[in-house]
Amino acid sequence: MKVLINNGFIKEPVAATIGMFDGVHKGHRYILSHLKAQANKRNLKTAVITFSRHPQSVLHGYAEESLMTLDDRISAIGESGIDYVVVMDFTKELSLLTAQQFLQLLYKRYYVKLLITGYDHRFGHNRKETYNDYVKYGKEIGMDVVKCDEYTTGNEKISSSEIRRLITEGNVKTAAEMLQRPYKISGEVVDGFRNGRKIGFPTANIKTDRNIIIPSNGVYAVTVNLNDGDIKKGMLNIGIRPTFDNGKNRSVEVNIFDFSEKIYGKQIEIMFYDRIRNERKMQSLEELEKQLENDRITAKEILKNYQL
Protein backbone atom coordinates (compact mmCIF):
# COMPACT_ATOMS: atom_id res chain seq x y z
CA MET A 1 0.00 0.00 0.00
CA LYS A 2 1.23 3.46 -0.88
CA VAL A 3 0.47 6.40 1.43
CA LEU A 4 0.31 9.98 0.14
CA ILE A 5 0.25 12.66 2.85
CA ASN A 6 -0.62 16.23 1.80
CA ASN A 7 1.17 15.93 -1.52
CA GLY A 8 1.82 13.69 -4.49
CA PHE A 9 -0.32 12.42 -7.34
CA ILE A 10 -1.78 9.11 -8.43
CA LYS A 11 -0.91 8.54 -12.05
CA GLU A 12 -3.03 5.45 -12.69
CA PRO A 13 -6.85 5.37 -12.72
CA VAL A 14 -8.37 4.38 -9.39
CA ALA A 15 -11.65 3.61 -7.74
CA ALA A 16 -11.85 5.67 -4.55
CA THR A 17 -13.96 6.45 -1.54
CA ILE A 18 -13.65 9.35 0.86
CA GLY A 19 -14.25 9.98 4.55
CA MET A 20 -12.69 10.21 8.01
CA PHE A 21 -12.97 6.44 8.61
CA ASP A 22 -12.47 7.01 12.34
CA GLY A 23 -12.40 3.58 13.97
CA VAL A 24 -12.50 1.71 10.64
CA HIS A 25 -15.57 -0.11 11.99
CA LYS A 26 -17.96 -2.65 10.45
CA GLY A 27 -19.72 -0.03 8.36
CA HIS A 28 -16.41 1.31 7.02
CA ARG A 29 -15.23 -2.20 6.17
CA TYR A 30 -18.46 -2.78 4.27
CA ILE A 31 -17.73 0.30 2.14
CA LEU A 32 -14.12 -0.85 1.58
CA SER A 33 -15.33 -4.30 0.53
CA HIS A 34 -17.78 -2.69 -1.91
CA LEU A 35 -14.99 -0.45 -3.23
CA LYS A 36 -12.72 -3.41 -3.92
CA ALA A 37 -15.51 -5.35 -5.66
CA GLN A 38 -16.35 -2.44 -7.94
CA ALA A 39 -12.67 -1.77 -8.66
CA ASN A 40 -12.08 -5.41 -9.62
CA LYS A 41 -14.98 -5.28 -12.08
CA ARG A 42 -13.35 -2.31 -13.82
CA ASN A 43 -9.73 -3.40 -13.42
CA LEU A 44 -8.91 -0.36 -11.30
CA LYS A 45 -6.63 0.11 -8.32
CA THR A 46 -8.27 1.22 -5.05
CA ALA A 47 -7.76 4.39 -3.03
CA VAL A 48 -9.14 5.72 0.24
CA ILE A 49 -9.08 9.49 0.61
CA THR A 50 -9.16 10.67 4.21
CA PHE A 51 -8.16 13.70 6.26
CA SER A 52 -5.39 14.35 8.76
CA ARG A 53 -7.82 16.25 11.00
CA HIS A 54 -11.59 16.29 11.27
CA PRO A 55 -13.26 18.93 9.07
CA GLN A 56 -15.21 20.14 12.12
CA SER A 57 -11.97 21.35 13.70
CA VAL A 58 -11.48 23.70 10.75
CA LEU A 59 -15.10 24.72 10.24
CA HIS A 60 -16.04 25.19 13.89
CA GLY A 61 -12.74 25.15 15.80
CA TYR A 62 -13.69 22.00 17.66
CA ALA A 63 -13.96 18.29 16.90
CA GLU A 64 -14.81 15.26 19.00
CA GLU A 65 -12.00 13.11 20.33
CA SER A 66 -11.02 10.36 17.95
CA LEU A 67 -11.27 6.58 18.17
CA MET A 68 -7.78 6.13 16.76
CA THR A 69 -4.66 7.99 15.73
CA LEU A 70 -3.97 8.80 12.09
CA ASP A 71 -1.25 6.12 11.93
CA ASP A 72 -3.64 3.49 13.31
CA ARG A 73 -6.33 4.61 10.87
CA ILE A 74 -3.96 4.23 7.92
CA SER A 75 -2.83 0.82 9.16
CA ALA A 76 -6.40 -0.42 9.65
CA ILE A 77 -7.42 0.75 6.17
CA GLY A 78 -4.38 -1.03 4.76
CA GLU A 79 -5.51 -4.30 6.35
CA SER A 80 -8.41 -4.30 3.91
CA GLY A 81 -6.04 -4.60 0.95
CA ILE A 82 -6.35 -1.03 -0.34
CA ASP A 83 -3.70 0.11 -2.85
CA TYR A 84 -3.50 3.82 -1.92
CA VAL A 85 -4.33 5.88 1.15
CA VAL A 86 -4.44 9.61 0.46
CA VAL A 87 -4.29 11.85 3.53
CA MET A 88 -5.48 15.35 2.71
CA ASP A 89 -5.08 18.33 5.00
CA PHE A 90 -8.57 19.74 5.42
CA THR A 91 -8.09 23.50 5.15
CA LYS A 92 -10.35 26.53 5.01
CA GLU A 93 -9.57 26.81 1.29
CA LEU A 94 -10.60 23.20 0.72
CA SER A 95 -13.85 23.75 2.62
CA LEU A 96 -14.80 26.57 0.23
CA LEU A 97 -14.70 24.34 -2.85
CA THR A 98 -18.05 23.45 -4.38
CA ALA A 99 -18.86 19.77 -4.85
CA GLN A 100 -18.10 20.18 -8.57
CA GLN A 101 -14.71 21.75 -7.87
CA PHE A 102 -13.87 19.08 -5.33
CA LEU A 103 -14.64 16.28 -7.78
CA GLN A 104 -12.45 18.00 -10.36
CA LEU A 105 -9.62 18.13 -7.81
CA LEU A 106 -9.98 14.40 -7.09
CA TYR A 107 -9.87 13.61 -10.79
CA LYS A 108 -6.90 15.82 -11.65
CA ARG A 109 -4.74 15.03 -8.62
CA TYR A 110 -5.63 11.41 -7.90
CA TYR A 111 -7.09 10.20 -11.21
CA VAL A 112 -10.33 9.05 -9.60
CA LYS A 113 -12.38 7.32 -12.32
CA LEU A 114 -14.89 5.80 -9.93
CA LEU A 115 -15.98 7.41 -6.66
CA ILE A 116 -17.91 5.30 -4.15
CA THR A 117 -19.83 7.48 -1.70
CA GLY A 118 -21.47 6.48 1.56
CA TYR A 119 -25.26 6.24 1.49
CA ASP A 120 -25.60 9.63 3.24
CA HIS A 121 -22.25 11.24 2.43
CA ARG A 122 -22.36 14.91 1.45
CA PHE A 123 -19.50 17.18 0.45
CA GLY A 124 -18.80 20.55 -1.07
CA HIS A 125 -19.25 24.05 0.34
CA ASN A 126 -22.58 24.33 2.22
CA ARG A 127 -23.37 20.76 1.10
CA LYS A 128 -26.32 21.99 -0.97
CA GLU A 129 -25.93 19.57 -3.87
CA THR A 130 -27.53 16.13 -3.95
CA TYR A 131 -26.23 12.74 -4.99
CA ASN A 132 -27.74 13.29 -8.47
CA ASP A 133 -25.66 16.46 -8.77
CA TYR A 134 -22.52 14.48 -7.93
CA VAL A 135 -23.36 11.97 -10.65
CA LYS A 136 -23.86 14.80 -13.15
CA TYR A 137 -20.60 16.57 -12.25
CA GLY A 138 -18.72 13.29 -12.41
CA LYS A 139 -19.94 12.49 -15.91
CA GLU A 140 -18.77 15.88 -17.09
CA ILE A 141 -15.16 15.05 -16.18
CA GLY A 142 -15.13 11.31 -16.88
CA MET A 143 -15.79 10.04 -13.34
CA ASP A 144 -18.52 7.61 -12.31
CA VAL A 145 -20.07 8.39 -8.93
CA VAL A 146 -21.82 5.44 -7.26
CA LYS A 147 -23.61 5.35 -3.92
CA CYS A 148 -22.90 2.46 -1.55
CA ASP A 149 -25.92 0.95 0.20
CA GLU A 150 -26.29 1.52 3.93
CA TYR A 151 -24.71 -1.17 6.08
CA THR A 152 -27.39 -2.77 8.24
CA THR A 153 -27.47 -5.79 10.52
CA GLY A 154 -30.71 -6.21 12.43
CA ASN A 155 -31.38 -3.22 14.65
CA GLU A 156 -27.70 -2.52 15.21
CA LYS A 157 -26.74 1.09 14.53
CA ILE A 158 -23.09 1.37 13.61
CA SER A 159 -21.34 4.71 13.33
CA SER A 160 -18.23 6.36 14.70
CA SER A 161 -20.36 8.63 16.88
CA GLU A 162 -22.24 5.66 18.35
CA ILE A 163 -18.96 3.88 19.15
CA ARG A 164 -17.65 7.06 20.79
CA ARG A 165 -20.77 7.16 22.96
CA LEU A 166 -20.33 3.53 24.01
CA ILE A 167 -16.69 4.02 24.94
CA THR A 168 -17.45 7.21 26.84
CA GLU A 169 -19.97 5.18 28.85
CA GLY A 170 -17.45 2.38 29.43
CA ASN A 171 -19.24 -0.16 27.23
CA VAL A 172 -16.04 -1.33 25.56
CA LYS A 173 -17.39 -4.82 24.87
CA THR A 174 -20.18 -3.64 22.57
CA ALA A 175 -17.84 -1.09 21.01
CA ALA A 176 -15.40 -3.91 20.20
CA GLU A 177 -18.16 -5.83 18.42
CA MET A 178 -18.81 -2.82 16.18
CA LEU A 179 -15.10 -2.23 15.62
CA GLN A 180 -14.51 -5.97 15.04
CA ARG A 181 -11.55 -5.72 17.40
CA PRO A 182 -10.89 -4.48 20.95
CA TYR A 183 -10.78 -0.74 21.46
CA LYS A 184 -7.18 0.37 21.84
CA ILE A 185 -5.30 3.25 23.39
CA SER A 186 -1.56 3.76 23.56
CA GLY A 187 0.88 5.89 25.44
CA GLU A 188 4.14 6.24 27.30
CA VAL A 189 4.72 4.64 30.69
CA VAL A 190 5.49 7.46 33.12
CA ASP A 191 6.19 7.75 36.81
CA GLY A 192 3.07 7.83 38.99
CA PHE A 193 2.11 7.78 42.66
CA ARG A 194 3.21 4.12 43.03
CA ASN A 195 0.23 3.44 45.28
CA GLY A 196 -0.41 -0.03 43.91
CA ARG A 197 3.08 -1.18 44.73
CA LYS A 198 2.32 -0.62 48.43
CA ILE A 199 -0.38 -3.31 48.42
CA GLY A 200 1.06 -5.81 45.95
CA PHE A 201 -0.56 -4.51 42.77
CA PRO A 202 2.12 -2.46 40.96
CA THR A 203 0.80 -0.47 38.02
CA ALA A 204 2.19 1.20 34.93
CA ASN A 205 0.91 4.76 34.67
CA ILE A 206 0.11 5.65 31.04
CA LYS A 207 0.37 9.11 29.49
CA THR A 208 -2.19 8.84 26.69
CA ASP A 209 -2.77 10.79 23.49
CA ARG A 210 -5.00 13.70 24.54
CA ASN A 211 -6.96 13.52 21.26
CA ILE A 212 -8.05 9.91 21.74
CA ILE A 213 -11.18 8.96 23.69
CA ILE A 214 -10.51 7.42 27.10
CA PRO A 215 -13.25 5.13 28.47
CA SER A 216 -15.21 6.19 31.54
CA ASN A 217 -13.76 5.77 35.02
CA GLY A 218 -13.67 2.20 36.25
CA VAL A 219 -11.80 -1.09 36.18
CA TYR A 220 -11.35 -3.04 32.94
CA ALA A 221 -10.05 -6.40 31.74
CA VAL A 222 -7.31 -5.63 29.21
CA THR A 223 -4.29 -6.94 27.37
CA VAL A 224 -1.05 -5.03 27.05
CA ASN A 225 1.14 -5.01 23.96
CA LEU A 226 4.67 -4.10 24.97
CA ASN A 227 5.46 -3.43 21.28
CA ASP A 228 7.90 -6.30 21.03
CA GLY A 229 5.31 -8.97 20.28
CA ASP A 230 4.89 -9.74 23.96
CA ILE A 231 1.18 -9.61 24.85
CA LYS A 232 0.31 -9.69 28.55
CA LYS A 233 -3.04 -9.89 30.32
CA GLY A 234 -3.96 -7.36 32.95
CA MET A 235 -6.51 -5.12 34.59
CA LEU A 236 -6.65 -1.36 34.23
CA ASN A 237 -8.08 1.42 36.34
CA ILE A 238 -9.17 4.77 34.98
CA GLY A 239 -9.99 7.43 37.53
CA ILE A 240 -8.78 9.62 40.36
CA ARG A 241 -7.66 6.96 42.93
CA PRO A 242 -10.22 8.05 45.58
CA THR A 243 -8.96 5.64 48.26
CA PHE A 244 -5.56 7.31 48.24
CA ASP A 245 -6.94 10.86 47.96
CA ASN A 246 -4.36 11.76 45.28
CA GLY A 247 -6.34 14.72 43.97
CA LYS A 248 -8.71 15.11 41.04
CA ASN A 249 -6.37 14.44 38.13
CA ARG A 250 -7.55 11.47 36.06
CA SER A 251 -5.06 8.66 35.56
CA VAL A 252 -4.82 5.49 33.47
CA GLU A 253 -2.98 2.72 35.32
CA VAL A 254 -2.57 -0.91 34.33
CA ASN A 255 -1.60 -3.87 36.50
CA ILE A 256 0.12 -6.36 34.19
CA PHE A 257 -0.29 -9.95 35.35
CA ASP A 258 2.84 -12.05 35.92
CA PHE A 259 5.14 -9.19 34.98
CA SER A 260 7.77 -7.35 37.02
CA GLU A 261 10.07 -5.61 34.51
CA LYS A 262 10.65 -1.86 34.58
CA ILE A 263 9.12 -0.26 31.50
CA TYR A 264 9.32 3.47 32.27
CA GLY A 265 9.61 5.45 29.05
CA LYS A 266 8.26 2.66 26.85
CA GLN A 267 5.33 3.04 24.50
CA ILE A 268 2.68 0.40 25.13
CA GLU A 269 -0.76 -0.40 23.74
CA ILE A 270 -3.81 -1.28 25.84
CA MET A 271 -6.66 -3.36 24.39
CA PHE A 272 -10.01 -3.22 26.26
CA TYR A 273 -12.18 -6.34 26.50
CA ASP A 274 -14.79 -5.64 29.18
CA ARG A 275 -15.61 -3.39 32.10
CA ILE A 276 -15.45 -4.98 35.55
CA ARG A 277 -16.83 -2.28 37.85
CA ASN A 278 -17.06 1.41 38.68
CA GLU A 279 -14.24 3.16 40.46
CA ARG A 280 -15.16 3.70 44.12
CA LYS A 281 -13.53 4.74 47.37
CA MET A 282 -12.63 1.93 49.79
CA GLN A 283 -12.69 2.37 53.55
CA SER A 284 -9.21 0.93 54.07
CA LEU A 285 -6.16 -0.40 52.22
CA GLU A 286 -7.16 -3.90 53.32
CA GLU A 287 -10.57 -3.51 51.69
CA LEU A 288 -8.92 -2.17 48.53
CA GLU A 289 -6.45 -5.05 48.41
CA LYS A 290 -9.28 -7.59 48.73
CA GLN A 291 -11.27 -5.85 46.00
CA LEU A 292 -8.29 -5.76 43.66
CA GLU A 293 -7.73 -9.47 44.19
CA ASN A 294 -11.37 -10.08 43.22
CA ASP A 295 -10.92 -7.79 40.21
CA ARG A 296 -7.89 -9.79 39.09
CA ILE A 297 -9.85 -13.05 39.31
CA THR A 298 -12.71 -11.49 37.33
CA ALA A 299 -10.35 -10.08 34.69
CA LYS A 300 -8.70 -13.47 34.20
CA GLU A 301 -12.11 -15.13 33.81
CA ILE A 302 -13.17 -12.55 31.23
CA LEU A 303 -9.96 -12.91 29.24
CA LYS A 304 -10.33 -16.72 29.17
CA ASN A 305 -13.15 -16.21 26.70
CA TYR A 306 -10.79 -14.75 24.10
CA GLN A 307 -8.08 -16.45 22.08
CA LEU A 308 -5.09 -14.56 23.39
Report, as residue numbers or ranges, the catalytic residues. 253
CA trace torsion 244, 245, 250, 252 (10° rounding): 0
Beta-strand ranges (E) seen in the chain are 2-5, 14-18, 45-51, 84-88, 112-117, 144-147, 183-190, 204-208, 218-225, 231-239, 251-256, 267-277
d(CA 235, CA 201): 10
Other residues' Cβ atoms within 10 Å of the Cβ of residue 163: 26
* Residue type at 278 in one-letter notation: N
d(CA 163, CA 173): 11
Composition of the chain by helix, strand, coil, percent to 5 = 35, 25, 40
Three-class DSSP category at 50: strand
Angle between helices 99-110 and 131-141 (to 10 degrees): 40
Contact between residue 180 and residue 25 where contact means Cβ atoms under 8 Å apart = yes
